Amino acid sequence: MIKFPLQYIGLVVFVLGTVFLSACSPKSPQEEVTLFNGQDLNNWSSADMSYWSVSDGAIVGGKGKDSIVHNQFIWHKEKVKDFYLKVFVKLIPNTANAGIQFRSQKMGEEALGYQADIGEGVWGRLYHESGREKLHWEGRGEAAVKKNEWNTYEILALGNNIWTAINGTLSVAYQDPNGELEGFIALQVHAGPAQLVKYKPVKLIHNPEMMLKNYSESELLEALVEATNKPYTGEGH
């Protein structure tokens, strides 16, 4: 019989115990966070706050009749990793352009990271602001948009897997092995002609279940496999 030194035996027990505990560790509990109190911009900040205000329970980006010289972002202080976000969005006019940044970082006055795109011709598309640009550029969300009305935007990010939906219609199912796994949420109003973008961030959940309105876990997994031709791995989750 082979005899191993006691220190080796202790090391093996420690390693096996660590692996076992890691495998059995429960998922972090869900936590719902209030992003916006409907009254003021507490916990939000921007390089130029003159572009941002609160009106009728919504965060408003833009200056009405004034054109916008360059992209404007307003950032929430809450960092996100795995999360579910629901935001009500309204564009004035419908040809305006905007976006919801997530897992993003400030880069001077700009943003670096994922953007759930908003605007005529780009609704529901996944963009990488200041980086890799167009990631998922199929316009499946466009048909679900209610022009000149409030629209519900959902974003679900679990590990390197991302889903978005507009008014309950799945728009993006994307697996990104090179993507950021954490960062901040920001709201954008795009450079260009005079416009207003209204946002009502209504729900943020950390460590959510895999689910969107009208879509079960199995349906989201099926959409991911269909879109990427890769199985869900849970990598980074």
Q: Are 104 and 89 in contact (CB under 8 A)?
A: no
Beta strands in 39-167 (DSSP E): 44-45, 52-55, 58-61, 72-80, 83-92, 97-107, 110-119, 126-129, 133-136, 151-158, 161-166
Residue 19 lies in a domain: no
CATH label of the domain that carries residue 180: 2.60.120.560
Residue 4 lies in a domain: no
What is the pLDDT, as a whole number, of residue 139? 66
| Mean predicted confidence (pLDDT) in 186-211 | 94
| DSSP classification of residue 5 | -
Residues 6+ apart with CB under 8 A from 87: 100, 152, 153, 155, 199, 200, 201, 202
The domain total for the chain is: 1
Q: How many other CB atoms are found less than 10 A from the CB of residue 50?
A: 9
What is the pLDDT, as a whole number, of residue 9? 35
Q: What is the pLDDT of residues 137-190, one digit of tens each?
A: 776 788 999 999 999 999 999 999 999 999 999 999 999 998 999 999 999 999
pLDDT band, very low/low/confident/very high, at 8 (cuts 50, 70, 90): very low
Residue 6 lies in a domain: no
Residue 178 lies in a domain: yes
CA gap 189, 68 in Å, rounded: 8
Residue 24 lies in a domain: no
Q: What is the pLDDT of residues 33-91, one digit of tens each?
A: 999 999 999 999 999 999 999 999 999 999 877 888 889 999 999 999 999 999 999 99
Residue 152 lies in a domain: yes
Residue 92 lies in a domain: yes
Residue 113 lies in a domain: yes
CA gap 53, 154 in Å, rounded: 23
224's enclosing H/E stretch is helix 217-228
Domain that holds residue 62: 29-228
Single-letter amino acid code for the residue at 102: F
Tokens matching residue 234: 């849970």
Residue 23 CB burial class (10 angstroms; 0-12, 13-18, ≥19): exposed
CA gap 110, 75 in Å, rounded: 11
Q: Are 162 and 125 in contact (CB under 8 A)?
A: no
Q: Which residue has the higher pLDDT, 13 or 128?
A: 128
